[in-house]
Amino acid sequence: MASVRFRDKEQYWEIRKYVTDPKTRKPQTFTEILPASATRVDVAKVADRLDQQAQAIRTGKWRLPDSPQRAYNEWLRYIANKPVGRKRKMLTAGTQSHYKRVVDEFLSSLPGRIKRITQLTPNHVEAYNNKLLDRGLCARTVNANLTAIKSWAWWLNSIYGIENFAAEVLMYTENEPDQRFLTDEEYPVILAAGSEVFRQRFEFIGNTGVRATEFCQLRWKDITPDRQSIKVHGKGNKTRYVPLNSICLRILETIKKQTPPLGANQTIFLSKSNSHGNLGGPIERRVLHLQCQHVNETLHLEPFGPHAFRHYFATMLLVKGVPVAHVSKILGHSSIKTTETIYAHILPRHLAEVTECLCG
C-alpha cells in the first residue's frame, strides 16, 4: 500500500510509493502531492493509482516513453494541468512557454544517436550550456534555461525513476544585472521628447512602478470601484494593489475619452489603431522597448528601457521618505531584502542624518 501522510507544517497531503524494478534492480520512488483541501477520497484514488503503477513495474508492464520527444510531450501535458516542483506551484503561462521553448531547443541540440531518455547524461546538458555561452548569452540567461531542463529532468526522475541527468549540473555564478536609474533631470526631458502616447504610457509606469509585462496586462476591470488603486497581476500568479495618484487618474480619463473601452475586460493600453479606425490589440513589451529606444536615439542618453521608469518610481518614493517596506509591497517584491539590495545606493544617503535627532 502507498504511504499517506499529511504534513502539518507545509499543509499538504503526501502520497508515496516505493518499488524496485525487477529488470534494473533499482529502487524507484513515486510521490504525489495534494493540497490540504483534498478529500480522503481524492487521496485514496491517488494512492490506488500509485499502487497500480508499482504493480505494473513489478510485472514488467510499465514502460518508459520510447523517445525523449514522447517524454517531452508527456511533461508538457503534465505542467499544463498540475503543480510542479518541490513547492508544488502551478506554472504561469509565460513560464510554461519558456520551459517549452528551452527543452525543445535542448532536444534539438542532442546528437542523432540519442534515441531514449535513459541515454541522456550531464554531458549533454553541459554541451547545451556551452552553446548558449558561445552565442554570447549571459550567465543569468543560461541559468534560466538550465532551470527549465532541470525541471524536466526532475519530473522524469520522479515519474519514471530514471537517473536525474541534470542534477549534477551546477548553476553559473551571475553578475549583478546592470540597473539603469533615471535622474530627476532626465525623467521630464524623456517624457517631453516622446509622443503623447509615449508620455501616457511611461508617465503611468513612472507613477505606479509596474513591470512592463504587468503594464501590458492591465484591464479596465482591474481599477477598484473607488478608483484609488488598480489590481496588478505580477510574477508567479501573485496579485497586488497599486495606488493610483492624480496623475494616473488623469491619464486614465484621457485614454477613456480618446478610445472608449468596449468592455471592462478590455486592456487599458492598446497598440496603435489601424487605418480603418479599429482599436489595436493589447500592447506588447517589445513595443515599449522600441519606444524607449526611439526616444533615446533622439536624446543620445545612456540606454534605458521601461524598467528604468519602475526604478525611478521606487527611487522617488524612498527619497521622499516612504518606508522601504511600503515601497517593497507596492513593487511586488517577494522580500524586502530584494528592495534593499536594488536600492542600496539610495538608502544610505536617505538615512545619513536620521541620527541627528539624538544630538538635540
The pLDDT-based confidence of 138 (bands split at 50, 70, 90) is: confident
> Is the pLDDT at 300 greater than 80, yes or no?
yes
Q: What is the pLDDT of residues 56-72, one digit of tens each?
A: 778 776 666 768 888 88
Q: Count the neighbouring beta carbons within 10 Å of the beta carbon of residue 168.
A: 11
Looking at residue 272, its pLDDT comes to: 67
Q: Average pLDDT, whole number, for the chain?
A: 85
Looking at residue 122, its amino acid is P
CA separation (Å) from 144 to 138, 147, 148, 322? 10, 5, 7, 33
Q: What is the pLDDT of residue 83?
A: 63
Tens of pLDDT, residues 205-223: 999 999 999 999 999 999 9
Check if the beta carbon of residue 116 is closer than 8 Å to that of residue 160. Answer: no
Evaluate whether 74 touches 65 at the Cβ level (below 8 Å).
Answer: yes
The answer to whether residues 139 and 174 touch, using CB atoms and an 8 Å cutoff, is yes
Q: Name the H helices within 135-195.
A: 139-160, 186-193
Percent residues over pLDDT 70 in the chain: 87
Q: Is the pLDDT of residue 158 over 90?
A: no
Banded pLDDT at 331 (limits 50, 70, 90): very high
Mean pLDDT value across residues 231-237: 85
**Minimum mean pLDDT among 229-243, 274-288, 293-307: which range?**
274-288
Amino acid at 251: I
- Which among 343, 345, 353, 315 is positioned nearest to 184, based on CA atoms? 315
d(CA 275, CA 248): 28
pLDDT value at 154 more than 60: yes
Which pLDDT score is estimated for 321?
Answer: 86
What's the one-letter identity of residue 156? Answer: L
- pLDDT for 276: 40
Residue with cell 524494478: 21
**Phi-psi bin for 237: left (phi > 0), alpha (psi -120 to 50), beta?**
left
| Closest C-alpha among 182, 216, 193, 179 to residue 313 | 182
Question: What's the chain's length in residues?
Answer: 360
pLDDT in tens, 168-178: 999 988 765 56
Separation of alpha carbons 95 and 346, rounded Å: 32
CA distances from 1 to 40, 141, 261, 344 (A): 15, 44, 58, 54
**Spatial distance between the Cα atoms of 13 and 241, rounded to a whole number of angstroms:** 32
Q: What is the CA 18 to chain-centroid distance, rounded?
A: 34
| Per-residue model confidence (pLDDT) at position 65 | 74
Q: Measuring CA to CA, which residue among 178, 210, 181, 204 is closest to residue 191?
A: 204
State whether residue 355 is helix, strand or coil.
helix
Average pLDDT over residues 143-158: 90
pTM: 0.61
Q: What is the enclosing helix (H) or strand (E) of 239?
A: strand 239-243
Lowest mean per-residue pLDDT among 50-54, 99-103, 166-170, 265-269: 50-54
pLDDT value, residue 88: 55
- Residue 328, Cβ neighbours under 10 Å: how many? 20
pLDDT of residue 176: 59
Q: Residue 3: beta bridge partners?
A: 16
Average pLDDT of the segment spanning 286-293: 92
Closest to 24 in 3D by CA, of 97, 118, 140? 118
Regarding beta strands 3-7 and 229-233, do their DSSP bridges make them parallel or antiparallel, or are they unpaired? unpaired
CA pair distance 313, 359, nearest whole angstrom:
33
Q: Which residues pair with 223 in a beta bridge?
A: 230
User: ∠ CA 320-326-331 to the nearest 5 degrees?
Assistant: 100
pLDDT score at 125:
95
- Ranked by mean pLDDT, which of 19-33, 214-228, 338-352 comes out on top? 214-228
- Mean pLDDT computed over 183-187: 91
Asked if the model's pLDDT at residue 87 lies above 60, the reply is: no
What pLDDT score does 277 carry?
A: 44
pLDDT tens digits for 239-286?
A: 999 999 999 999 999 999 988 888 888 999 988 644 444 456 788 888
Nearest to 232 by CA among 221, 245, 220, 242: 242
pLDDT of residue 179: 76
